[in-house]
Structure 1
């Protein structure tokens, strides 16, 4: 809250003004008490948030979608590793056109045959491995979705906690300014204050009401955003949440401690779902190279036919039935424009997939280093506030209060000093919120969240 210099020298009587000064001086103590209470409930707030995240993940439809897609790819792989269905061949041959009788010419026969085509080399096995690897890549989408949901919900939780703390500061300022309005009104009625003093005080009260309304609006918006993951039923029964702008990060702190003094986080980033998906993509393309190499091996087919004859042979005896068997084989002799090109294309895809992963890791490592820079600076700024600015603001407030009691300072000076101290406390809360949001982003990259991942969701029954 900003208090104009026009509030200086409002002409309050000493006893009444002293009461207000004591009230103002008590606000930092109240704020400090609330801050201490918030710090002691960090673990409880973290557990509450983790419970919400786990509840959201257990009913997240996107996780169910990725799981279903992974199962579908697994089933497709099993289908692709199966030989083609055999072909049944039924017909007749050698039928005389002058009589169309089956027992007149010994060459006439009714035949039944089966044809079976075999894939080249190990193509079937490779296709199954490829589909299985693709299914593994899709299943990693579940882990990626979990980190995205956890990061988004954590950041909203921290913003909600900050807004709730800011609300308490606004309420305290509103209470103070309401009392000031009453005192200014009393002094104005006895001619000790000007009309502009009363109008300025009323304006400050109305501004605080507007800030409080905006704060409530932003809190309601954040709570409504939680319904994206927790559902509309949850929203109807959980309009009020007690959040915190600070959380505990034991797992993240352990990870960062193990990488102290280095700017390379590649070992940890390789465990990120996106990096693992890139590895899966490389494996898929490597298998595709092996599939392309199978095109240099011949493809075989087998055909067996049985021919039934009704006519007699030239000796007048029943003609013997016939059995035929064939082996077909295509030989890849001219490979320059087909097999060679397909193999070269598959090899280039492997190289492209590896470069893609290298680019991804470089981008993610740069993000981690940028976040680490923000984290260090935020910690230093918070330390400066706690060790220098806040103690100085408190000492200033106390000095102004003593000066006012000794008639060497104006009542407006007391208001300004107390308001500045409250503003600094709110700035510390903002920095703490930003620090925890930075931790949330780092946790999403390095795997530092504390929630327990629920079991993979089952697909809907058919």
Structure 2
């Protein structure tokens, strides 16, 4: 009788699992690629980056324009005894214009600096795109892992619930070797499964909340309107199958550290630092222009009235040049040049630190990935099959009154833990693959080198 009851339990569990699968497929689940597409197309940061680049491009035109001329108008040498305009020959009405010119090649250098800085934003957008793909993939996989773990625990929970009923019936009928402690043990495991379910639901809700940050709808054509925070594309769950993520071929190419560093030098984040270095060099050139004199041209016309006796007086026209002499440059211009040189050198250290960090993360990820693949093969080829056989054997022995109920419980828990561990390994492999693919991302933007930079 106990054997027939357990067979009914197995059939009931399979039927419940089938109903759950049909119900899940009836709803539209969120795939990984769909989540990435939504995040990329609804990122307000991209709109802000485009606006900043546009602002710099407009400043390039403005920076190449000469400063506005200045106009002066005045009465000169007006006698104070009579305030008469025609009394004195030196009294005149004068109008003049002055045009100043920037020092050296400051205009051209400033234009090149702004143009170089504007070229950084396409690179930053490439880095942002790669970052979003990696981040959304991580969060999506966390949601998937919690969702799949819940499904595994729910399956075992249904079996444990049936086992509690079977042990109660067997204990009440005084058949077999069922003891009261078996009932208590089954109930205890059932409560512990409820606790594990609660933990997994907590992780699922937390991961889903983090994933929703990237799924809000944003209208880039109308940025004045706030995002609709009630309209988030997040279904009850994600797709039930893991996506296929391909590791960048260079990650498995066995590159040396130097070769790997050269490859990482093409990452958008590193290229953006290169652009910052070009901008810093332009700042140094601009500081050196402060040692050049600033020139100006002025011209004026002075009108004089006729003398009191009617004799005409000639008008005046003046033209001149002005320039300053940077004689006391030791504490100002020279210090500005030294400061800009130091700032340019600091950008080099920033690039080196970023490359070192990226190289370390890549090596760490490759080693973790190798061990995870080794564990994945161990689980898929041996361990999962062995714990399944152990669970079935202990259950068969117990149904034939030749086994211990505690051993059945331990075997079922061991099988559940093995399935969850195998799931964790599969998810971790994809997570590390996504992280490594970020570091091997290449930029679709190739900024033109700025003339005069090394």
Q: TM-score, normalised by structure 1?
A: 0.81
Q: Does 1:247 align with 2:243?
A: yes
CA distance in 1, matches of 2:248, 2:58: 41
Distance 1:285 1:249, change over 3 A: same
The aligned counterpart of 2:223 is none
**1:1-40 correspondence runs (5 A):** 14-16=2-4, 19=7
Which residue matches 1:271? 266
Change (3 A) 1:207 1:244: same
SS in 2 for 1:283: helix
2:257 match: secondary structure: coil
d(CA) in 1 for partners of 2:265, 2:125:
17
What secondary structure sits across from 1:301 in the alignment? strand
In structure 1, distance between residues paired with 2:110 and 2:418: 64
Distance 1:389 1:355, change over 3 A: same
The Cα shift of 1:362 comes to 1.2
Q: Is the 8 A contact 1:133 1:284 kept in 2?
A: yes
Structure 1 counterpart of 2:426, from 425, 432, 436: 432
Assess if the C-alpha contact under 8 Å between 1:21 and 1:411 holds in 2: no
* Aligned with 1:288 (options 283, 289, 308): 283
User: What is the aligned partner in structure 1 of residue 448 from structure 2?
Assistant: none
Secondary structure at the aligned position of 1:180 is classed as helix
- How far apart are residue 135 of structure 1 and its match? 2.4
Work out whether residues 89 and 112 of structure 1, in 8 Å CA contact, stay in contact via their aligned partners in 2. yes
> SS at 1:385's partner residue?
helix
Contact 2:92 2:304 in 1 (8 A): yes
Q: What root-mean-square deviation, in Å, do the aligned CA atoms of Structure 1 and Structure 2 show?
A: 3.2
Q: Which gives a bigger RCO, structure 1 or 2 (Cα 8 Å, sep 6+)?
A: 1
Q: Structure 2: which 5+ runs fail to align?
A: 217-228, 446-454
C-alpha contact (below 8 Å) 1:298/1:329 kept by paired residues: yes
Hey, what does 2:187 align to over in structure 1?
Answer: 202
Of residues 16, 38, 45, the one that matches 1:62 is 45
Counterpart of 2:74 in 1: which secondary structure? strand
The TM-score normalised by the length of structure 2 is 0.83
More helix per residue: 1
CA offsets 1:198-235 (integer angstroms, 9 cap, x no match): 23322322332333333233323322222212223343
Unmatched tracts of structure 1, length 5 or more: 1-12, 35-40, 454-462
1:152 to 1:255, Cα distance in 2 relative to 1, 3 A: same
CA drift of 1:292 comes to 2.1
2:96 corresponds in structure 1 to 113
User: Which residue of structure 2 aligns with residue 131 of structure 1?
Assistant: 114
Q: How many pairs does the alignment contain?
A: 422
Q: Which stretch has the larger CA shift, 200-209 or 436-445?
A: 200-209
Q: How does 1:14-413 map to 2 (within 5 A)?
A: 14-16=2-4, 19=7, 48-192=31-175, 193-231=178-216, 232-235=229-232, 238-243=234-239, 246-250=242-246, 252-257=247-252, 259-264=253-258, 265-312=260-307, 316-397=310-391, 399-400=393-394, 408-410=402-404, 412-413=406-407
Looking at structure 2, the residues matched to 245 and 432 of structure 1 have their Cα atoms a distance apart, in angstroms, of: 11
Instruction: Report if aligned partners of 1:301, 1:329 keep a CA contact under 8 Å in 2.
Output: yes
